[in-house]
Amino acid sequence: MYTDTERCVRAVRSKDARFDGWFFTAVLTTRIYCRPSCPAVPPKAENMTFYPSAAACQQAGFRACKRCRPDTSPGSPEWNARADTVARAMRLIQDGVVDREGVPGLAGRLGYSARQIERQLLAELGAGPLALARAQRAQTARVLIETTALPMAEVAFAAGFASIRAFNDTVREVFALSPSELRTRASRGPSAAREAQGARGAHNARGPEQHGTPGAISLRLPFRTPLNPDNLFGHLVATAVPGVEEWRDGAYRRTLSLPYGHGIVALSPRPDHIACRLSLTDPRDLTLAISSCRRMLDLDADPVAVDEQLRADPLLAPLVDKAPGRRVPRTVDAAEFAVRAVLGQQVSTAAARTHAARLVTAHGVPVDDPEGGLTHLFPAPEALAGLDPEALALPRTRRATLTGLIAELADGSLRLGTDSDWDEVRQRLGSLPGFGPWTIEVIAMRALGDPDAFLPTDLGIRRAAGRLGLPSTPSALTRRAAGWRPWRAYAVQYLWATDDHAINRLPV
């Protein structure tokens, strides 16, 4: 979009928050870059230039606006709605892969050379993987500076910087403030909190110690409005595995398995953001924890574009108008979800939770939850590889399906994650015993994040289609749904919402 100058200028002049994250406005006279919705008086059109990423702005010598905090805007919807190499690379960079594995590690995951990845990212984003990762490190550093009391040296290394000097230089260059000045500015109280309103890593000015868990990091996760939290949180809570997930005091809580340790997150829906409280055993996991939570809640979606497309079907339009902004509830761990999808084949939600809870108790890693309620991490495929199939209270065919899946995941034959090629994973799953269209598509929708995944064989979808006057046979419904592409996964959420099931209601 950033190449459409006229459209970008209109968005800036109208302060349209829907375009935050789609592009960034750099002001040639002040050398500052902003998000489109910046509350400051818009500059003259001839003084604006536009970039596709915060990293590109920083690389061109612009610094972040202190008022609108453009580096903390919602992520571009493109990176979670596409499966090409650039989109997969961006998801991996957002997860901190470059910091952990370097550019060669990023390229290796994608099956390309480092030079090829560099060229593709530069062409589309105006910045290479190192610059994009540097921008990510700067934002992680800002979150830790503003929301924790960690010494600056620990912040630097937790954010992924190789040296204190690189940390200090980057923070000064990006934010025009030293790390200590950022912390002082954040501690000024209500004015700082107002300034941070809606920011991706914005903190609560009261500080982490006043949220019940000492050392917790409190954040505000922004989203593009509208957002309907009913099915989003209702689905997560209705299918929650005891010991791993729970709903308490208006928050969805769960354990997280992370590269350097583990974490516990509490997520609460608010009118203009998702309140996020993270407790981590190692602060180096902050970047991945935040991106995983954003992906699970589908917070980078563009609901206006989705709903506009779905409204074009006159039989679907009333559902969209009644409760716009539905998101697709996803997952923080694709392999975990795949195992749970098999456990849930042809059984009730309660039965699936029971099966999963047994696996967790027997094979999950215990964790300490200071608030009580959460007891384990969901077991990794490697921990389940030695599972005795006879110990599972499942039909023989489903035991074979589950053990086959676990073996593929454990030995790396099947890779599920942000770098997955959606079509390749579908083909691989289809070659395994017991994987039919429903299981494959629900994994594509919720584990891989394919926005066009569709479940025409789902009984709930077919019932909803019949009630609305839509075709109810899978083949006919698939033909009708061609007009909903590329957002058929969102249409599934609207169709499911016609059923009075707990997955469609915000817990109380």
Q: Where in the chain is the domain with CATH 3.40.10.10?
A: 5-70
Are 294 and 327 in contact by the 8 Å Cβ rule? The answer is: no
Q: State the fold for domain 79-198.
A: Arc Repressor Mutant, subunit A (1.10.10)
Q: Which of 99, 298, 419, 458 is catalytic?
A: 458
DSSP 281-295: SSGGGHHHHHHHHHH
Token duo for residue 80: 């979670």
* Mean pLDDT confidence for 130-142: 94
Q: Where in the chain is the domain with CATH 1.10.10.60?
A: 79-198
pLDDT at residue 392 in the model? 82
User: How many residues make up the chain in this entry?
Assistant: 508
Residue 99 known to be catalytic: no
268: β partners:
275
- CA separation for the pair 459, 472 (Å, rounded): 9
- CA separation for the pair 215, 265 (Å, rounded): 13
**Nearest alpha-carbon partner for 306 in 226, 200, 233, 422:** 226
pLDDT in tens, 232-262: 999 999 999 999 999 999 999 999 999 999 9
DSSP 444-457: IIIII--TT---TT
Please state whether beta strands 251-258 and 48-51 pair in parallel, antiparallel, or not at all (unpaired).
Answer: unpaired
**CATH architecture label of 301-504:** Orthogonal Bundle (1.10)
Confidence of residue 210 (pLDDT cuts 50, 70, 90): very low
Q: Where in the chain is the domain with CATH 1.10.340.30?
A: 301-504
Residue 276 known to be catalytic: no
pLDDT in tens, 336-348: 999 999 999 988 8
* Mean pLDDT confidence for 45-53: 95
**CATH architecture label of 5-70:** 3-Layer(aba) Sandwich (3.40)
- CA separation for the pair 58, 173 (Å, rounded): 8
- Rounded to 10 degrees, what is the CA torsion of 377, 381, 385, 387? 50
Q: How many CA atoms lie within 13 A of 80 on its CB side?
A: 29
What's the mean pLDDT when you consider all of the chain? 91
User: Which residues have CB under 8 Å from 151's CB, separation 6+?
Assistant: none
Is the pLDDT at 366 greater than 80, yes or no? Answer: yes
Token duo for residue 183: 């912390």
pLDDT at residue 189 in the model? 54
Main-chain phi, psi angles of 280, to 5 degrees: -120, 140
Q: How many CA atoms lie within 13 A of 19 on its CB side?
A: 24
Are 365 and 243 in contact by the 8 Å Cβ rule? The answer is: no
> Coil, strand or helix: which one is 101?
helix
Q: Which of 8, 34, 276, 293 is catalytic?
A: 34
Is the pLDDT at 151 greater than 80, yes or no? Answer: yes
pLDDT in tens, 270-296: 998 999 999 999 999 999 999 999 999
pLDDT at residue 214 in the model? 53
pLDDT at residue 90 in the model? 95
- Orientation of helix 179-186 relative to helix 164-175, angle to 10°: 60
Confidence of residue 175 (pLDDT cuts 50, 70, 90): very high
- Taking phi over 0 as left and psi of -120 to 50 as alpha, with beta for the rest, 96 belongs to left
Main-chain phi, psi angles of 447, to 5 degrees: -90, -40
In which residue are the tokens 């107002």 written? Answer: 194
- CA separation for the pair 219, 279 (Å, rounded): 11
